[in-house]
């Protein structure tokens, strides 16, 4: 996404990098818990947060043992969502 690596399940993104930030997609209760640990809303464009995504605090992103449970929770959440509908390409109009 935006030229940075990310991971998908069922056509839904559940984690990725954006510049120096690592973000995850979580349900509301888990986002609240992680926000209490210092996470912030993910805003790839200032003032336009992406729904359900938060940026992990650096101390969690830098610690594989602390990071793993959040990635597992993110993946588990996304697997409960319906697969994202694949958009059909638009046909070029005849002129």
Task: List pLDDT tens digits, range 25-67.
Answer: 999 999 999 999 999 999 999 999 999 999 999 999 999 999 9
Residue 30: inside a domain, yes or no?
A: yes
Residue 26: inside a domain, yes or no?
A: yes
Q: What is the mean pLDDT of residues 70-83?
A: 95
Residue 21: inside a domain, yes or no?
A: yes
The pTM of this model reads: 0.84
Residue 59: inside a domain, yes or no?
A: yes
Q: Between the CA atoms of 85, 15, 27 and 86, what dihedral angle is there, to the nearest 10 degrees?
A: 0
Residue 60: inside a domain, yes or no?
A: yes
pLDDT of res. 1: 59
Residue 40 CB neighbours (<10 A):
14
pLDDT of res. 55: 97
Residue 47: inside a domain, yes or no?
A: yes
**Total structural domains in the chain?**
1
Residue 69: inside a domain, yes or no?
A: yes
Rounded to 5 degrees, φ, ψ at 31 are -65, -40
The domain of 72 spans 6-79
């Amino acid at each position: 996404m935006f030229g940075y690596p990310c991971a998908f399940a069922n056509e839904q993104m559940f984690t990725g990098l954006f510049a120096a930030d690592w973000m995850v997609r979580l349900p509301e209760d888990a986002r609240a818990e992680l926000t209490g640990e210092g996470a912030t809303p993910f805003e790839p464009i200032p003032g336009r947060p992406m729904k359900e995504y938060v940026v992990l605090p650096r101390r969690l992103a830098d610690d594989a043992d602390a990071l793993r449970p959040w990635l597992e929770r993110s993946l588990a959440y996304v697997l409960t969502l319906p697969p994202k509908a694949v958009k059909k390409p638009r046909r070029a109009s005849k002129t």
